[in-house]
Amino acid sequence: MKLTKLVIATGNLKKLKEFERLLAPLGIVVLPQSAFDVPEAPEPHCTFLENALAKARNAARHTGLPALADDSGICVDALNGAPGVNSAYYAGAQKSDADNNAKLIADLQGVAHRRAHYTAVLALVMHENDPEPIIAEGRWWGEMIDTPRGAGGFGYDPYFLDIALNQTAAEMPIDIKGAHSHRGRALAALLLRLQE
Ligand code: IMP
């Protein structure tokens, strides 16, 4: 089945922009779930995979269209993988990037080992009860720094340093971030699956 139109199951406009840019060359029109007043899906699960699937099924149910969801977050080695699936709410239900970053950097005070990775799991369902969702994942390794750098991106980006590029995710133009990021890598893997 040729995929031409997709609902993206996110309320995050920055994520939406990243998906739009990555899917446009394939002729896939991307529609935000906000255009259909899709209510946000609960994310009660302890794995990115289960949360991504719940979001994709929720968007497909409310729109009748194929839906793509990502569940993503940052996992810090020294914090046993936290914030992990709780990345959006690390400092509380208000979902504030500034509060989340302040908490994470406070938690890492005096910690020398700064290794961390972003992870993204994508789930694509053709319809609400699709028994064969297409799943793909991507990881992006780096280190947490104490002083923010850059004004792009979102979330933890100003504190996440790609060691090889010596840039934080917030310092990179969106296309460079897309080429290296967890979401970009997961999407590349998803597209390979789609071509099969
Ligand atoms: P989700 O929308 O429930 O998947 O939550 C993802 C959360 O993980 C975001 O709110 C951010 O805090 C964090 N996150 C995921 N991807 C990125 C990224 O590319 N840059 C910065 N933060 C990210």
pLDDT tens across 119-128, in order?
A: 999 999 999 9
Give the pLDDT confidence score for residue 1 in this predicted structure.
64
Task: Give residue 3's pLDDT.
Answer: 83
Q: Read off the pLDDT of each residue in 70-87 and give the average, rounded to a whole number.
A: 97
For residue 5, give the 3-state DSSP assignment.
strand
Beta bridge partner(s), residue 8: 32, 68
| CA-angle at 194, arms to 15 and 68, nearest 5° | 30
Confidence of residue 87 (pLDDT cuts 50, 70, 90): very high
pLDDT score of 26 more than 70? yes
Domain that holds residue 183: 5-195
Check residue 2 and give its pLDDT. Answer: 75
Backbone angles phi, psi at 61, to 5 degrees: -60, -40
pLDDT band at 34 (very low <50, low <70, confident <90, very high): very high
**CATH code at 14?**
3.90.950.10
What domain count does the chain have? 1
pLDDT band at 64 (very low <50, low <70, confident <90, very high): very high
Mean pLDDT, rounded, of the chain: 94
Written as six digits, the tokens of 75 are: 């996992």
Q: What is the mean pLDDT of residues 69-90?
A: 97
Residue 153: which residues within 8 A CB-CB, separation 6 or more? Answer: 14, 168, 169, 170, 172, 177
Ligand 1 atom at minimal distance to the Cα of residue 52: 4
Q: Whose CA is nearest to atom 21 of ligand 1?
A: 155
Residue 86 has pLDDT above 70, yes or no: yes
Residues tagged active-site? 71
Q: What tens digit of pLDDT does each residue of 134-182 get?
A: 999 999 999 999 999 999 999 999 999 999 999 999 999 988 999 999 9
Distance 72 CA to ligand 1 centre (A): 5
Average pLDDT over residues 13-18: 82
- The arithmetic mean of pLDDT across residues 46-74, rounded, is 97
What's residue 27's pLDDT? 86
Which of 154, 160, 182, 185 for a ligand 1 pocket mutation test, highest count of atoms within 8 Å of Cβ? 154
Query: What pLDDT does 11 receive?
Result: 83
